[in-house]
Chain A
Amino acid sequence: MSNPAAPASAPASPPATPGGTGTALRIGIAGIAATAVGGWISGAHIVATSWLVGISFWTAIAIGMLLLVLIHHIFDAMWSTVIRRQFEHALAAFKWLALLFLPLLLVTWFGHRDTIWPWMNPGHLMLPKGVTVGQDMVYAKKSGFLNLRALSIATAAFFAVWVWLSARLRKASFTQDSDGDRKWTLQSRVTAGFGLPLVALTLTFAAVYWIKSLEYHWFSTMYGVWYFANCMRGAYSFGVLIMVWLLNRGDYRGIIHEDTWHSIGKMMLAFTVFWGYISFSQYFLIWNADVPEETFWYNLREYGDWKWVGMVLVFGHFLLPFLALLSYRYKVTPRIIRRIALWILGVIFIDLCWNILPAVKDGVGNPLPFFSLGLLWAVTSAVGIGGICIWAYLRSFTTTKLIPIRDPRIGECLTHHE
């Protein structure tokens, strides 16, 4: 079987260099610098926790895109062939994300052990009971899993897996552009076969190690799935932003159709419901069982203005996008779906704040309010890390053709249901 020739309208040359590459890098550096300044103003504990929000936000989007490429290959999918290439470009961000995660490990190794994760320091006082981590039976039982060396090795392994899988998928896809060999497609299918369980496990453990362990007494089997839901929603939403950008630039004209928008919109709707389902399940089971070992995590998040943040999540992260995405017209109108995508990215950020920032406590063990300096540093972190990620994407963007022009499925994809 030979590759179907792509229609003449498909661009055969690499796309024009986007103007924003340098700007993205400058914004990234400015954001990181602003966050560093925050270190002097608010102290390392607050800023490092906020940095964790920023890094887990962009890592979620990158993991989601990696999953989308893997899922595309495992199902031998058709409609996502053209936008898969943009996800592959975005995977270039993983090595920078690994680099940007490094400060959190360095500050823990060489600064205060409990700068971010309280259980790293045996002398850390657990409020309000007043016992230290070292005297805490719960920690003693979990210390085989929760210790600095385990977290460092695990984090290195997570990024190694993600960078390695990304490199494999990118090489296979980019090489196929020049030699048109179908073996690359088959190789990527094999990569997807072992890559999907690997990514599923690594992202679950990453969510547990980085975020859930901030309250190490607490446990929820939904946690990895919760992070996964945000990964997928972030990746689809960011994918929509890329699609609208490329359509407005003219690159995607005649390449994506109403059905492409409809397909990605349906997936956004599906994962909106999925997020709602698992988040409600987590809350509902804990509410129903009503045991203090679990409920304290939600009690912290009903303190002060965090209660309203939780309400924003219920209605803004689930109900509003759900109702908006039910509409066919909204899904296939680029201007409107772009707004929905931006909204979803915004609430994912708030969701991560809601999960991470209450770990920063005041003198009596209550979380600092949502509207405090920690939020500002979370924003500067997200801007800084985002600038670097987008810079990495744009730098990769110009190196290959706009679409995988010799992919076996490209002909079908370009005439999606037409």
Chain B
Amino acid sequence: MATYGLIALFETAPEIYHAAEAVRDAGYKRWDCITPMPVHGLDGAMGLRRSIVPRISIAGGITGFCTGMSMIFYMNGFDYRLVVGGKPFFSPLYAFPVSYELTILFTAFATIGGMFFLNGLTKLYHPVLKHKDIGRGMDDRFFIVIEARDPRFDAINTRALLENIGGRDITELED
């Protein structure tokens, strides 16, 4: 069986916070923290950048706006011209309510879709679930998992790093 990575247990939030800083400074990229509650500032300690979901959102928004405008332009200004209330065949004004509704709709789709695409949820299986104490990661313990596919991963050195930063109960996870 291939190795998925190494998992280490930490007792308190400050411990995992400083441990995360050490793993970040050691240059690891493919690793994660498992905590029972949000630890404020942990994203910074892990060296995480802001998510790119907002960019996907704005792409969705612009698509929605253009869809609304061009749809109404095509239908009322080109395909089936009809005088309504003495208005021009096409005006961005009356296309605006529809366009901005579609902006909101497409932004929402892009945000939700982009979020699920990036975080890979929903997962029915994950290698850390094999760890005997993983349930406590949702209760009162903290874990750091470093994946074997990280280019800096090395079964001996990575284990030594986790030991140095105070990780206990270091276990090898199978894929």
Contacts and interface: CB of A to CB of B under 8 A. Distances in A.
Interface in B30-65: 40-41, 50, 54, 58
A57 B54 CA distance: 34
B144 to A, nearest CB: 22
B79 to A, nearest CB: 22
Q: Interface majority SS on A: helix, strand, loop or mixed?
A: helix
A49 B54 CA distance: 45
Interface string B77-94: 000000001110000011
Interface in A359-418: 417-418
Interface residues of A, number: 10
B86 A328 contact: no
A96 interface: no
Interface in A317-349: 326, 328
B97 interface: yes
A418 B40 CA distance: 6
Contacts of A290: 85-86
A245 interface: no
A39 B124 CA distance: 77
Contact of B41 (A283, A287, A326, A418): A418
B85 A288 contact: yes
Contact of A328 (B40, B41, B54): B54
A280 B95 CA distance: 12
A145 interface: no
Contact of B40 (A283, A288, A417): A417
Contact of A288 (B41, B54, B58, B94): B94
Contact of B96 (A280, A326, A328): A280
A284 B97 contact: yes
A290 B50 CA distance: 48
B54 A287 contact: no
Cβ-closest 8 pairs across A and B: A418-B40, A287-B93, A417-B40, A284-B93, A418-B41, A328-B50, A326-B58, A280-B96
11 contacts: A280-B96, A284-B96, A284-B97, A288-B85, A288-B87, A288-B94, A290-B85, A326-B58, A328-B50, A328-B54, A418-B40
